[in-house]
Amino acid sequence: MAFKNSGNSLLPWLGLALAVILLDQFTKTLILGYFQLGDSRTVTSFFNVVRVHNTGAAFSFLAGASGWQRWFFVGLGVAAAGFIVWMLRGHGAQKMFSLALSLILGGALGNVIDRLLHGYVVDFIQVHYGGWYFPSFNVADSAITVGAVLLILDELLRVKRS
C-alpha cells in the first residue's frame, strides 16, 4: 500500500497533521470574522487576543519585502511538507520523531494555506509581560515550535540511549 512502510502506517501521522491544520484554520477564521486588523482584547494580565497580518516569516522576517516572499514561503512550505512526508514514510514507528514531524507538517501547511488564501499569515496570540511583547503567533506556529522541541528532545534521548 502506498501509505505503508514496513507495516507502519503513515495515516495516523497525516491525520494528526490534518487535525493541526483544521484547528489552525478554524481559529484563524474566527479571528478574521470577529476582529478587525489591529484589534486587541485583553484576556489576562499577560495574554491578549489580537489580529495581526504577517507577510513575512517568523518574527516578521522579510515582511517588508516587495511581495516575492509570499511565493518563496509557499514554495518553502510545500517543499518542507514533501520532505516531512518522505521522512514519515520511513520512520513511522518512531513515535516521538513522527509526532514532531506531524506537528511541524500541520503547522507549515496551515501557514501555507494562509499565504495562498490571503497573501499573509493571520496571527492572533499575543503574550506579554511588564511592557515586553513577544511577537504575535498562531496555532500553526505553536505546532511548529512544539514539534521542533520534540525533535530536539528525541535526538537527545537517542544520543543518550546510544
Dihedral sign of CA atoms 134, 135, 138, 139 in order: negative
Q: What is the DSSP letter of 10?
A: S
3-state secondary structure of 56: coil
Q: Would you call 131 exposed, middle or buried from its count of C-beta atoms within 10 A (0-12, 13-18, 19+)? A: exposed
Question: Can you give the length of the chain in residues?
Answer: 162
Give the type of residue at 94.
Q
Catalytic residue among 24, 114, 123, 154: 123
CA–CA dist 142, 125 (Å, integer)? 10
Catalytic residue among 24, 114, 141, 154: 141
Give the CA distances from residue 93 to residues 7, 10, 97, 147, in Å, rounded to whole numbers and listed in that order.
Answer: 9, 9, 9, 17
Known catalytic residue: 141? yes
Give the CA distances from residue 123 to residues 6, 11, 36, in Å, rounded to whole numbers and listed in that order.
Answer: 39, 29, 12
Active site residues: 123, 141
